């Protein structure tokens, strides 16, 4: 798979810098983030270097994986109305990121539901 490389507007370059800063701050490798998103490591590198601009949905997923708000990855103006101001997922270690990545690749809603039920049961919470 080849990755399209082109310079994105400065706003996209700033987004990439913020993604890199958050990723590095919690000690997540580019490869781990790529795995969690179903991307190539080169796509993460290109995004962080301002050569690739992720979609808004991808930005929301990246924020969730990194345990930050979407607002913290950009100026947030376009997200406030959507209510995306709080993190959906806050990883605490590499295994949590691996689990999130694996879950995000499960497309069958029934299997996803079963996995959530299992996790809740194992955690002993309701």
Res. 35 pLDDT band, cuts 50 70 90: confident
Percentage of residues of the chain with pLDDT beyond 70: 73
Q: Which of 52-56, 70-74, 79-83, 98-102 is the least confident region?
A: 79-83
Q: Name the band, by pLDDT with cuts 50, 70 and 90, for residue 82.
A: very low
Superfamily of domain 10-123: lambda repressor-like DNA-binding domains (1.10.260.40)
The per-residue pLDDT for range 1-20, each reduced to its tens digit, is 444 444 455 566 888 999 99
For residue 23, count CB atoms less than 10 angstroms from its CB and return exposed for 0-12, middle for 13-18, buried for 19 or more: buried
Query: What is the reported pLDDT for 12?
Result: 67
Q: What is the mean pLDDT of residues 48-66?
A: 85
The DSSP-derived string for the chain is ------PPPHHHHHHHHHHHHHHHHTT--HHHHHHHHT--HHHHHHHHTTS----HHHHHHHHHHHT--SGGGS--TTTGGGT--S-S----SHHHHHHHHHHHT---HHHHHHHHHHHHHHHT--
**What is the pLDDT, as a whole number, of residue 73?**
84
Name the residue ranges covered by the structural domains of the chain: 10-123
* Averaged pLDDT of the chain: 75
Specify the pLDDT at position 42.
94
pTM, two decimal places: 0.59
Cα(83)–Cα(3) distance, integer angstroms: 32
């Amino acid at each position: 798979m080849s990755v399209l490389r082109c310079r994105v507007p400065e706003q996209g370059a700033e987004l990439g810098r913020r993604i890199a800063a958050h990723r590095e701050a919690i000690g997540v490798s580019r490869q781990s983030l790529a795995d969690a998103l179903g991307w190539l490591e080169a796509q993460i590198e290109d995004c962080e270097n301002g050569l690739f601009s992720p979609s808004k949905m991808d930005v929301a997923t990246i924020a969730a994986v990194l345990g930050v708000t979407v607002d913290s990855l950009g100026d947030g103006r376009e997200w406030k109305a959507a209510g995306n101001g709080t993190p959906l997922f806050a990883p605490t270690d590499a295994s949590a990121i691996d689990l999130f990545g694996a879950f995000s690749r499960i497309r069958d809603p029934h299997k996803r539901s079963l996995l959530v039920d299992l996790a809740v049961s194992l955690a002993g919470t309701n």
